[in-house]
Amino acid sequence: MFVSENWPYMVSGVCAFLLCCLILALIFSSKFREDITSGDTNKTKIFNVITLEGALVLSLCGLFFYGLIQPVIKPPEPFSLFAKANGFSFETPTQFLDDYKQKVTELKEKRARVTELESELEGMIREESLVSYVKALSPDSELSIVLRELPLKHEGPWGRFKKSETILVSIPGDVKEGEAWVCHSRINDDFELISDLKINEEPVLGKSVKVSSTKLMFPSMDCEERVSIDMQIACSDAVQLFGETVLACDEKGNARWKIEKPRELAVLSVLLPEELVENRLAEN
């Protein structure tokens, strides 16, 4: 650990030692000075001042000087901090090697997984070729049989219903059978209603009814904020939903409860697609 964290300073010390050796040679050795200057007239000189050997010595001096001051200009980050920042334990060299091997193993596993996914992707159907792929299917293939059964099961794009949600209803008494009064977000739509009411934790089961939202409960655009319920329905439709044992209707269409009136009337509302609505109107 000591060597790994302090190696820049060790290199700096070596450079300082070699630089001192060169300086001492220049000071105490006249022969050395003559060799790097113009002492021998037969040697090649640079700018008629210094020989090639002298240029080499000056270059070495510059490199040694840089190696000497580099740790001061840019102090090195301790290797232990670098290792911990990358998820390695640096408590002992053995632990560091174990962590390093584990990281390498994890990278190899990830690369193998990427290669596996790429090979699986090559065998998949691309979006642009899906139509041609389906057209080329054999009528007896398993996928062809499944696709042919989807319309009969009303699944996928052949589903009968578009959207369902649990709503709260009320029975004001002046709504006509088959109609529903709603806020702006549900106006001019057709719904199938199914009881979602529970009395004493027991579900109240009745028949489903179909209604058309023909009128607004409240004309203002903030109807949802002002009205605490989602839909108003006719009493006769409520009897179908919740059953004759729960309520009945008087001659004016007002609800007469045969039990204690629930605080909330929960109903499962299913938005009918336009095709079913058109077919129902045609049958009527």
The residues, any chain, with a CB within 8 Å of residue 164's CB and separated by 6 or more, are: 268, 269, 270, 271
Give the pair of three-digit tokens for residue 5: 């964290």
Q: Where are the domains of the chain?
A: 2-81, 160-283
User: How high is the pLDDT of residue 44?
Assistant: 59
Q: Residue by residue, what is the 3-state secondary structure of the chain?
A: CHHHHHHHHHHHHHHHHHHHHHHHHHHHCHHHHHHHCCCCCCCCEECCCEEHHHHHHHHHHHHHHHHHHHHHHCCCCCHHHHHHHCCCCCCCHHHHHHHHHHHHHHHHHHHHHHHHHHHHHHCCCCHHHHHHHHHCCCCCCHHHHHHHHHHHHCCHHHCCCCEEEEEEEECCCCCCCCEEEECHHHCCCEEEEEECCEECCEECCCCCEEEEEEEECCCCCCHHHHCCCCEEECHHHHHHHHCCCCEEECCCCCEEECCCCCCCEEEEEEECCHHHHHHHHHHC
Whether 213 and 186 have beta carbons less than 8 Å apart is answered as yes
Q: Taking Cα atoms as reference points, which of 155, 182, 177, 201 lies closest to residue 269?
A: 182
User: How high is the pLDDT of residue 176?
Assistant: 92
CA 208 to chain centroid? 40
Rounded to whole angstroms, the Cα distance separating 181 from 172 reads: 10
Q: Taking Cα atoms as reference points, which of 171, 218, 170, 209 lies closest to residue 191?
A: 209
User: How high is the pLDDT of residue 81?
Assistant: 61
Whether 210 and 279 have beta carbons less than 8 Å apart is answered as no
CATH class of the domain comprising 160-283 = mainly beta
The residues, any chain, with a CB within 8 Å of residue 130's CB and separated by 6 or more, are: none
Do the bridges between strand 209-216 and strand 255-257 make them parallel or antiparallel, or are there none, so unpaired?
unpaired
How do the pLDDT tens digits run along the chain, 284 residues long? 444 456 666 777 777 777 787 777 777 777 766 666 655 555 555 556 566 666 777 777 777 777 767 766 665 556 556 566 666 665 666 666 777 778 788 888 888 888 887 777 766 656 566 777 778 888 888 888 888 877 766 566 665 555 678 899 999 888 999 999 999 989 999 999 999 888 888 888 889 999 999 899 988 888 988 889 999 999 999 999 999 988 999 888 899 998 888 888 999 888 887 654 445 445 54
